[in-house]
Each structure stands twice: as structure tokens, then as C-alpha cells.
A and B are shown apart, each in its own frame.
Chain A
């Protein structure tokens, strides 16, 4: 039986993101930010989008498209994506600005509850993960948000640095993301091409 066409479109759209490549890139991004922060270079986090954006399309064409195929969504979906993506970008920019502000003000912060300040960068990335989950309809990103929030709270209580919290959560995300990607690659051998 055919399902409702709107549900079908949503399902097709979700399928497009189920390969795990975006997950791996997000996890590597968090890990890189964490490692830079551990070296006291959080400003260098700005290179993460500059690294990720140019390699996204070639990687997807090389790894995913031969297996999953190609799909172009309708105008309605495309404009909705563009609108939602703008919100995620605003969220990303706000996160980056907060990162930098925290970095430069880290010695002068004397607010109550500053114990949890160390977890704030991971919390902010958690918010970004929730926005991404809403954008692409992937519950896995809600899981990554949960990892980031739990690591932020637990790390702050244990007195970890923001860099350590991000490195640990990025590592945990990378394990799940790589498993998802490897499973996708194994289950979907590259298609030899259509029959004529």
C-alpha cells in the first residue's frame, strides 16, 4: 500500500542522510576543535568549516553516490532546506562567537555557577546538533546532542577543561559515526550501473 506522499517525501529525504558521512564529518569537527582547545588554540576552531565544506561534495560523490544513488529534491524541499540551513549557520556563527568570547574572557569570569562554564562549548555544539537533527530529520544527531550535553555536564562536574570535554565527546561521536558509515559501505556495495 502506498503511504501518504508527504511521508514518502520525508522518508526519501531521511534516507539521503542515513549513510553516516555527515556524522563522521561532524564528529571529526568536534574532535579537531577539542584537540585545538587542548593545545590552547580554540581560535583555530574556525578552520573546521573551512576544512569540511570543500571536501564534503567530493567525498559524497566518491563514497556515497555510487552506492546510494543520486536524488534531487523538489523546489519546496530545496527552499525549506535553504531556510533551515540559514538557521543552522546562524547557530554556528553564534556558537563560534561564544567560543571566542569564552576564550578571551576565561580568566575574568567570576559569575556564579562558573563550574559549568567549561561545559558550555560542548553544550552549544549540542544545540547545533539538535538543529541539524531537525534539518535532516536524523534521530542520530539527537543522540550526538545527548553525548555532548552529558559530556558537558559530567566533565564540568569533574573539573575537565573544555578541550577535554570536546575531545571525549568528539571521540564518542566518531565511534558511532564511523560504525554507521562502515555499516553503510559494507551493506551497499558500489552499484555497477543500470541495466540497458
Chain B
């Protein structure tokens, strides 16, 4: 799930903030609206990201937050990658 570069990048963004919305992630990631929406839905379906949809001043707002499972998955991914990279010959 996290090995896909766009998703890993989005998870990294979410790991450095408490929560953020679709527009902020869109500006920060440089992904297209469609791609961002798909990737965030996948992360949400996997339980790595909590998705809250609401309305503010008659505008839809979707807020994302890393779940405890997401934090654990990101740490595990980092550990695995470090192990793999450390085993590579110089």
C-alpha cells in the first residue's frame, strides 16, 4: 500500500501535521485532483487515514488525519526499507 510513491508522499505529509484538508494536500503534493482523490480514498479504505467530510460556508470540506494504524504502517515501512537498503552491497 505504501510503496506507491504518491501514497508514500501523502502519508509523509500527513505524518508531519495533525490534520489537513483536500485543498492543502492538493497544493502541497502537486498531484491532480483526480489522482489525489483516488489515492486518499485508497488510504482511507485501508484504514491508514481518517477521512471526515463536512460543509463549511456551503462548501464541501474533506479533512484527512493519519490514524494510529497509519502511523504504525509508516514506521513499519521505514524499518523494512532501512533493512533492505542496509543489506544492499556498497
Is there contact, CB below 8 Å, between A8 and B16? Answer: yes
| Min C-beta distance of B21 to chain A, whole Å | 4
Is there contact, CB below 8 Å, between A188 and B18? Answer: no
Is there contact, CB below 8 Å, between B20 and A70? Answer: yes
Q: Is A194 an interface residue (CB 8 A)?
A: yes
Residue of A whose beta carbon sits closest to that of B40: A194
How far is A165 from B59 in the complex, measured between Cα atoms in Å?
44
- From A23-31, A72-80, A97-105, A122-130, the one touching the partner chain is A72-80
How far is A189 from B29 in the complex, measured between Cα atoms in Å?
17
Is there contact, CB below 8 Å, between A74 and B22? Answer: no
How far is A68 from B27 in the complex, measured between Cα atoms in Å?
7
Interface size on B, residues (CB 8 A): 28
Is there contact, CB below 8 Å, between A12 and B28? Answer: yes
Is there contact, CB below 8 Å, between A2 and B20? Answer: no
- Majority SS of interface residues in chain A? mixed
Which of chain B's residues have a CB closer than 8 A to the CB of A69? 20-27
Q: Is B62 an interface residue (CB 8 A)?
A: yes
How far is A195 from B21 in the complex, measured between Cα atoms in Å?
12
In the complex, which of the residues A12, A71, A191 has the most CB atoms of chain B within 10 Å of its own CB atom? Answer: A71
Which of chain B's residues have a CB closer than 8 A to the CB of A8? 12-13, 16
Residue of B whose beta carbon sits closest to that of A66: B59
Contacts beyond the supplied A70-B23, A195-B37: 14 A-B pairs with Cβ under 8 Å = A8-B13, A8-B16, A12-B17, A12-B28, A15-B27, A65-B23, A68-B24, A69-B20, A69-B26, A72-B18, A73-B17, A74-B17, A194-B22, A196-B53
User: What is the interface of chain B, defined by CB distance below 8 A to chain A?
Assistant: 8-9, 12-13, 15-28, 33-34, 37, 53, 57, 59-63
